[in-house]
Amino acid sequence: MAIRPAAHQSPTRVLIVDDSAAARAMFKVIVESDPALQVMAAVPDAYSAARTMRTELPDAILLDLEMPGMDGLTFLRKIMQQHPIPVVVCSSHVGAGTDTMVAALELGAKEVIAKPAARNEIERQEASIRICDAIRAATETGRRRSQPEPRPLAPGPKLTADEILPARPPRPVPETMPVVCIGASTGGTEALRDVLTALPASAPPIVIVQHMPRGFTGAFARRLDSLCAIEVLEAEDDMQVLPGRAIIAQGDRHLLLRRRNQGYRVSVVDGAYVCRHRPSVDVLFRSAAQEAGANALGIIMTGMGDDGARSMAEMRAAGAETIAQNEETCVVYGMPREAVAHGGVQKIEPLDKLASRIIEFGRRNAERMIR
C-alpha cells in the first residue's frame, strides 16, 4: 500500500518512538499538553514505527536512539532517505554518546535534546517547554519562513534576563579588545559551522550561545575545532576570551561575558531558564551590553522564539554593532525577526556574509586600538 501523507491539519501529529513504556507515557502527556501538538501514536521500536507509517506519515517524530532491533540512527537514516520527516531526537545518551548525537544532526535530525529526568514538578514543566518547543521548531523548518505569527508558546513560565543579571542603564565602557557575541537556536549548528569555518586564525574573540542539551556542547565544540582555523572550545568558568578563539556555552548553564582590564573572561553560571532556555542568548547579550558596550558586535542567527531580542536592543543602546541573519537563509526566522521588532538590529545580512562582517569588525577595532 502506498504511503499517504497526513493531510494538513492543526494540531501537528507526532509519532513517539521509544522502547521505554514509562518514557512513552511521559512524552504523551508532555506533547498533548501543547494545544498545537497531538500524539498520532506511541510505539516501542523502529519496526513498529515503520508499520504505523505505512498508512500515514506523521508531521513530526520524537525519536530515541537506543532501541532493540534497529537502533535510532539506522532508523533516522532510513527516514531521511525515504521520507524526510522532521525528527527530534530525545535521548539520555548525551554523555559518552555525544558523538552519536552529532551523527544524528548530520543525518538530518532537526533538533537533539536530552531525555528529561522529570523528578519533580519544576523539572516536568521545564521538560514540557523544551520538548514541545523543539517539536514545533522542527516542523517550522519545512514551512514558508515568513509566517506573520509564530505558533502559540508552550505552557510554563517565561522569565527574563533579570533572573540572572539585573538590568542597568547604559554607561560608558573603557576601550577594550573587540569581542563578538553570537546567539543561535534551531538550524544554528549548521549555520555556525558555515560561519566559523570561514574565519581565519586571526579572527576576533567570539562567544556563542547555541541552544543545546547538557553534555552535547562539548562534542559540538570538538567537532568545530577539528574543522576550523580558529580554536573552538566549550566554555569553562573564568576561561579567557582571546583572538582566534570561539567559546561555546555549556548546555544547561548560562554564559556571561566579564571584563578584565582590556580583555574578557567568561562566567559559567547556573540559574533559571530565561526566555525558556538555559543557556540563554538574552543573558549573554545583556552581559555584553554591560561589560563590552561599543567594543562588541552582536549577531543573532536562525532560531525559534525571541531569545536574545530584548538584550540585543540593550547592546545597541550601549553602542555595540548588531546584525541579524536574514530571513532567506534562516532555517527558522524567529529570533532574528523578534530582534528586528525590538529595535536592536542595525544590519540584516545573509549567512554567507556573516564571517566577512566579523573579520571587518575585528580589523576596524584593531586599527582603533592601535591609534
* Nearest one of 273, 276, 297, 215 to 248, comparing CA atoms: 215
Catalytic, out of 45, 133, 211, 306: 211
Dihedral in degrees, nearest 10, Cα atoms 49, 54, 56, 59: 40
Point out the catalytic residue in the list 45, 133, 252, 307.
Answer: 307
Query: What is the greatest pairwise CA distance in the chain?
Result: 73
Q: Is residue 211 annotated as part of the catalytic site, yes or no?
A: yes
Instruction: Measure the N-to-C terminal CA separation of the chain; round to a whole number of Å.
Output: 73
Grid cell in block for residue 17: 518512538
91 tagged catalytic: no
What phi and psi values does residue 209 have, to the nearest 5 degrees?
-115, 115
Cell 574565519 locates to: 199
C-alpha cell at 191: 549555520
CB within 8 Å of 347: residues ≥ 6 apart = 321, 322, 323, 324, 357
Query: Residue 54: helix, strand or coil by DSSP?
Result: coil
Q: Which triple of cell numbers denotes residue 145?
A: 519562513
Name residue, grid cell 517547554: 129
The answer to whether 185 is a known catalytic residue is yes
Of the listed 91, 128, 185, 311, which one is catalytic? 185
Q: Could you give the residue numbers annotated as active site?
A: 185, 211, 307
